[in-house]
Structure 1
């Protein structure tokens, strides 16, 4: 049982008291809460026969044996989780208690205010709202998402409105949410749906064919908007189910994840699948939290095996489930970032003024931060000194934009601004930031024309336009460093002495 009960809990459980999974019988002293007796009593009588007997299988008794090959261990782990399926009465009580709790305690969120429509237009509108909200909520806190969702819906109230948007507009709206691939998939998916007639797919199978919609998002849309009886499994659901069944198998392994989907599928209420899925996720987000679960107010605490084990053994805790997985170390990368500002006109200016145009480069359409705009930068293999970084930037500017710092322009200012560390999910990027102020010779400003590089898309914008663009938080941080440097700069730019006022006679 080590894979499923955990080393702490295993010591507290004897073979005798684990022969049969704990379940509530009508003849036992435990009864549903008083407010739910009428709801659950007759419903269990009528629906218990519908629950298949396959989920009532008696757990296999695992005896200590010699170590098994990895393949056999994985197979055993899968069988054990299947054996820990929910039984008929347990399913009915969890459904009833959880839905009653959700009806009384659900948070007031804008994407839940959309009226459920019986007509096709109403269902499609709800599907669109669910889609956008669920995509935004991936890897992002609810409080952060609320404002983004409201602004998004004000600009693109329907999927047809979104399909007419440009990627630049979408990125501008998304700026600050991170994981920008999500925004691109929303746009691509909306275009495909509109091109196919504008009718939202209504089943998980059909939704999975839309770019960017995976199992989780498909299940959320199908159950919440179209009442399909399908599960939804995210981190919150995994945590709740793992504690209900005291499952300590690695929640990141594919076999374990598949079994969590099966267990969640057993629980879904066929009469209110969307509400039930939201209730399960809500429970994980607000009560059954990762570090401080509030078991005293949990509506299904009587069915929680993790809580039962914690009461039996002081060394066991509810937070032992699911198993903590050691995160892989982030890859360290380094880059030289040059904020290139092109000054207009021929006259040298005394001090830094926001009258130049900034050079922006578009990232490739695939990979990290695909299709987004950034300042010219060069990835470095390792940490390097200032001279090496500047040489790399000089070569990049010359190759990509025909900007030769010695021949085609005058360097008005080149200042090392500082360093900034930007953390992605799997990368720790250290950026060395410089400000490079240039004045082109011969009044030839190539930045006002078309890009001369066939493979590198670029544009030049003034500071006002740059501030309103959909830039990543990393690029915004770099620009903020530049603005702060300019504000604190008191010395004049070399090239022209400060004029002194002549005393009046």
Structure 2
């Protein structure tokens, strides 16, 4: 194994370069295996010290300069965000006030995962108005939480918030106030625990998200794979050394703010950066044309996206003198889109023709609900509505959407689960693992629905509107109308 202080003379390679340092991908094979390179103090000898990431550190002087510059910049430039108004009073106030700050930080940080700040602001305000404390949230139902979350995506986050709140309240109601104790709460990991502990309780612990990774890897020109578990651990340790013990919450927010507004992935504003003098990636880029600040962190190829296909049947029950009702099925409590409601759908083995899709849907409806359209109900119409492609982080789902309209005959409703039609035969033993209900159009906006349901319903409404307009008028209207699809229900 090469020693961490292994030195190589590159005088013969320097040529016209302004600096003897070469980017990692230009080093000879022996040193290219190392994680990064640093310029030796002995510039006259034109040598390079090659070090593993665990050998990288911040000097005491660097730490002081970074803390002072970053906190001053943050004080002058931080964005006015609703959760910061709640959490900006430090350790002032009693236990109740500190726990309110912790709750606000928790909700905001969970919402901000995979979601832009401007999108989160409205959701956060509505959430805090409905559930101002953890005790209020603990009394909510998953349906209420999913309804409030509708449109944010990644619904598992909402479920963990609810379950975490219930866990804390059931354990006595005292909000955990250290990073280690916070991680005992379901759904709270290293990042969220660090954010709550440092911002709400002033514990000197780091937080590491994508913004922090970007800032740290550029500060030290780290070219190691940022997704590698060992690299992640080392970056956490570097972030830990930087945290200001007097203002840990503000410092952590300052680093994240810097990454979000100045040290961006593709177009960093280095001239505005308060810690540009300490940034080795910037220094390298100024001395070597082949190196760019945006080379850090190292780009990692994304995993190949999986392609899935499904047949979605929007089952509409019509009854004379009443509003139409729709059949909804609840997804399993674990896995993708856990606990959300959707229209009946069947995952297909691949691209499938119309006949195959309808057979799959018919089989599902009969097995799950005893619905046999040839025997037990009156079929009004069955129309192909269109195709919608929904992109998840790792799945490309192509949904074939149909509108299946059935007419209620005979039986009166007895409860919310059987009020749609006698087409559906309630078989408790056979359908014990499937939760379903009939809802009217108004109720669709009050449930936690998948984005696919909202899109399918939008397509159904547009399809109905188009079907009710004469062809000539529809052509004239389409020429004038925008190509933008109608907004989904919320």
Query: Does TM-score exceed 0.5, indicating one fold?
Result: yes
Equivalent residues of 2:332, 2:338 under 8 A apart: yes
Equivalent residues of 2:327, 2:437 under 8 A apart: yes
| 1:208-219 paired onto structure 2 within 5 Å | 208-219=183-194
For residues 118 and 125 of structure 1, the distance between their equivalents in structure 2, rounded to whole angstroms, comes to: 10
User: Equivalent residue of 1:448, what SS?
Assistant: coil
For residues 124 and 60 of structure 1, the distance between their equivalents in structure 2, rounded to whole angstroms, comes to: 51
| 1:316-355 paired onto structure 2 within 5 Å | 316-345=291-320, 355=323
Partner of residue 40, structure 2: 19
Partner of residue 349, structure 2: 381
| 1:388-403 paired onto structure 2 within 5 Å | 388-403=356-371
Equivalent residues of 1:175, 1:471 under 8 A apart: yes
Deviation at 1:464, TM superposition (A): 1.4
Equivalent residues of 1:5, 1:247 under 8 A apart: no
| 1:246-257 paired onto structure 2 within 5 Å | 246-257=221-232
For residues 444 and 91 of structure 1, the distance between their equivalents in structure 2, rounded to whole angstroms, comes to: 74
For residues 199 and 60 of structure 1, the distance between their equivalents in structure 2, rounded to whole angstroms, comes to: 54
Equivalent residues of 1:412, 1:439 under 8 A apart: yes
User: Equivalent residue of 1:323, what SS?
Assistant: coil
Deviation at 1:18, TM superposition (A): 1.7
Equivalent residues of 1:413, 1:437 under 8 A apart: yes
Is 1:427 equivalent to 2:395 in the alignment?
A: yes
For residues 339 and 8 of structure 1, the distance between their equivalents in structure 2, rounded to whole angstroms, comes to: 54
Equivalent residues of 2:183, 2:189 under 8 A apart: yes
Deviation at 1:118, TM superposition (A): 3.6
Residues 163 and 326 (structure 1 numbering): CA distance in 2 closer, same or farther, change over 3 Å?
A: same
Equivalent residues of 1:60, 1:83 under 8 A apart: no
Equivalent residues of 1:21, 1:84 under 8 A apart: no
Deviation at 1:61, TM superposition (A): 3.9
Partner of residue 304, structure 1: 279
Is 1:458 equivalent to 2:436 in the alignment?
A: yes
Partner of residue 50, structure 1: none
Greater alpha carbon shift after TM alignment, 114-123 vs 170-179: 114-123
Deviation at 1:262, TM superposition (A): 0.5
Deviation at 1:84, TM superposition (A): 1.3
Residues 358 and 330 (structure 1 numbering): CA distance in 2 closer, same or farther, change over 3 Å?
A: same
For residues 241 and 469 of structure 2, the distance between their equivalents in structure 1, rounded to whole angstroms, comes to: 71
Partner of residue 350, structure 1: none
Q: C-alpha offsets along residues 444-474 of structure 1, whole Å, 9 cap, x if unaligned?
A: 6673286641111000001111133232222
Q: C-alpha offsets along residues 418-456 of structure 1, whole Å, 9 cap, x if unaligned?
A: 100001111100000000000144436673286641111
Q: C-alpha offsets along residues 4-46 of structure 1, whole Å, 9 cap, x if unaligned?
A: 98435759x9x99722499xxxxxxxxxxxxxxxxxxxxxxxx
Is 1:409 equivalent to 2:406 in the alignment?
A: no
For residues 226 and 469 of structure 2, the distance between their equivalents in structure 1, rounded to whole angstroms, comes to: 58
For residues 231 and 327 of structure 1, the distance between their equivalents in structure 2, rounded to whole angstroms, comes to: 27
Equivalent residues of 1:356, 1:462 under 8 A apart: yes
User: Equivalent residue of 2:109, what SS?
Assistant: helix
User: Equivalent residue of 2:104, what SS?
Assistant: helix
Is 1:91 equivalent to 2:63 in the alignment?
A: yes
Partner of residue 72, structure 1: none
Is 1:230 equivalent to 2:205 in the alignment?
A: yes
Partner of residue 7, structure 1: 24
Partner of residue 81, structure 2: 109
For residues 461 and 278 of structure 2, the distance between their equivalents in structure 1, rounded to whole angstroms, comes to: 57
Unaligned 5+ segments in structure 1 are 23-58, 63-78, 348-353, 493-505
User: Equivalent residue of 2:289, what SS?
Assistant: coil
Partner of residue 488, structure 1: 466
Q: C-alpha offsets along residues 296-334 of structure 1, whole Å, 9 cap, x if unaligned?
A: 010000000000000101121100000011101110000
User: Equivalent residue of 1:447, what SS?
Assistant: coil
Equivalent residues of 2:23, 2:291 under 8 A apart: no
Equivalent residues of 1:9, 1:313 under 8 A apart: no
Greater alpha carbon shift after TM alignment, 375-384 vs 438-447: 438-447
Q: C-alpha offsets along residues 215-248 of structure 1, whole Å, 9 cap, x if unaligned?
A: 0000000000011110000000000000000001
What is the TM-score of this pair, normalised by structure 2?
A: 0.84
Equivalent residues of 1:174, 1:180 under 8 A apart: yes
Equivalent residues of 1:182, 1:212 under 8 A apart: yes
Deviation at 1:490, TM superposition (A): 2.5
Unaligned 5+ segments in structure 2 are 7-20, 421-425, 471-490
Equivalent residues of 2:39, 2:48 under 8 A apart: no
Residues 157 and 451 (structure 1 numbering): CA distance in 2 closer, same or farther, change over 3 Å?
A: farther
Q: C-alpha offsets along residues 123-177 of structure 1, whole Å, 9 cap, x if unaligned?
A: 1000000000000000000000000000000000000000000000000000000
Residues 257 and 169 (structure 1 numbering): CA distance in 2 closer, same or farther, change over 3 Å?
A: same
| 1:149-164 paired onto structure 2 within 5 Å | 149-164=124-139
Q: C-alpha offsets along residues 335-378 of structure 1, whole Å, 9 cap, x if unaligned?
A: 00000011124x9xxxxxx8211000000111101110000000
Partner of residue 407, structure 2: 439
